[in-house]
Structure 1
């Protein structure tokens, strides 16, 4: 096979994106390279932590109090800042998670945006805990505690195997396709009055789309200039990324329903296994389209760009305003 053919094969073309999106919508129906200290999950030092929403709890995150968001952002920023400064390939998803959480905070403060703000605060923290627990388990060498989809993502970062677009997609896949169904099932799909929590879940879609463009612009400006260029072999545009994420989120809700409605522990275990396996399979799909093909492509340009630009300010404002390169 010629060099030109190999490079074409590696490219994230419109046809491949369309195929990946189709797979993403069907899935479910069917060592990090930088560390932070201390290398322990934040939930281990938050007294009274539980995934169950308890409004009377002394734990601010369990009760869903507004200041829980500060604790969540502080923990996410610890990872995002450390990985960005070291140009770890984990930095792309870590920074994306900070930006999405900041945007959630912006939406939360709009009167009437959510029907149940305290519950949304709690769910946001539980979701973050799944990611940080996986990250710290991986960096501590406790691989048995790392879900397979996350292990694939962290291995790819460690090995500098995929483009920045690949890093973002691998993290989002593990976060949404693997973690989210378990989070939704554990915190509850139904409010105490019997109403579905789906409207608040769907309300997130409103800001996910508007946050996608500045996020891709920031990733391109600070970590890999190819990230927001759809004409590049590894580029991605905001519309396609949003469509992928939206499809994954809908499937995550359906998988959570399947977990909750499973009639027996054995049936639930089967649903859980399917979620794990499907998320891992999707990660492999992403690897197949986003991996560098040495010697034609490698992470060298990405790494050199990051070394020169990781301290740069994000080039576009988010809904919550102008973002700082570090912290939140």
Structure 2
């Protein structure tokens, strides 16, 4: 299994640099690093039907984040628009930390994950048995459990220090607020699978491009909804 340690170290270096400069992009990346660590633990503990496949997916998924980030750092308007929105908002003081986090999650899940699944599954789908296809989807869904376990720690250790009022909400609502976020992300990921599947089964490149562009428009619309109170 390919080591993810270099990527985790890259995440840590970037977080440290951004913390020192007061760059708000550290918020999402800190949460993403925690999720990546928890995914690695789940893979090592054989929580998935095919740990090697999930590891490959995890690697490729992270690549999309870093490619978009490097594009944004080099020439911002070359990066995917949904990441432009997320990274622009990350350094603004009038955007709440919870909004910054959700903007990053929206970009990475609703856009990047569609492309990741298409890249990985388009190459193998036709040759997979029905049982293997079911296992791929089951492993995709099982990630939701890791996300759910991660959300409470993210709220307590990352969001609350950045947004103290959230601790009051947590006391009032208990685990209900984490449940709502988990349900939201699980709903997004279900739509992601359907969107990706509608792409990877196609041979017509024009039709594939049309659907990908629609996915991008929908993700941008979600980003604007997240920031609708700005």
TM-fit CA distance, 1:230 = 3.2
Gaps of 5+ in 2: none
**Residue from 156, 160, 167 that aligns with 2:100:** 167
Cα separation, partners in 2 of 1:228 and 1:249, compared to 1, 3 Å:
farther
Q: Which residue of 1 aligns with 2:161?
A: 222
Select 2:60's aligned residue among 121, 126, 130.
126
Mind listing any 5+ residue stretches in structure 1 that lack a counterpart? Answer: 1-64, 292-328
Identify the match of residue 93 of structure 1 among 23, 28, 31.
28
What is the Cα deviation at residue 80 of structure 1? 2.3
**Distance in 2 between the 1:204 and 1:231 partners?**
24
- d(CA) in 1 for partners of 2:105, 2:166: 15
**1:2-41 alignment runs, 5 A limit:** none
- The reply to whether residue 210 of structure 1 matches residue 149 of structure 2 is yes
Pair 1:108 & 2:48 matched: no
Is it true that 1:245 corresponds to 2:185 in the alignment? yes
Find the aligned partners of 1:278 and 1:193 in 2 and give their Cα distance: 30
Q: Which has the higher helix share?
A: 2
The CA distance in 2 between the partners of 1:121 and 1:85, in whole Å, is 31
Aligned residue runs from structure 1 range 178-197, under 5 A: 178-188=111-121, 193-194=128-129, 195-196=132-133, 197=136
- Contact 1:178–1:279, Cα closer than 8 Å, also in 2: yes
**Structure 1 Cα separation of the partners of residues 22 and 177 of structure 2:** 23
Q: Residue 140 of structure 2 is aligned with which of 193, 201, 218?
A: 201
What's the Cα RMSD here? 2.1
Question: How far does residue 82 in structure 1 lie from its aligned partner after superposition?
Answer: 2.0
Match of 1:73 in 2: 8
CA distance in 2, matches of 1:278, 1:201: 21
Contact map agreement 1:80 1:98 (CA 8 A) in 2: no
- Bigger Rg, which one: 1
Match of 1:153 in 2: 86
Distance 1:124 1:205, change over 3 A: same
Q: 120-129 or 215-224: which moved more? A: 215-224
SS at match of 1:288: coil
Flag the 1:229–1:82 CA change in 2: closer, same or farther, 3 A. farther
- CA drift of 1:277 comes to 0.5
Secondary structure at the aligned position of 1:230 is classed as: helix
Question: What's the CA shift for 1:114?
Answer: 1.3
**1:186 Cα shift?**
0.2
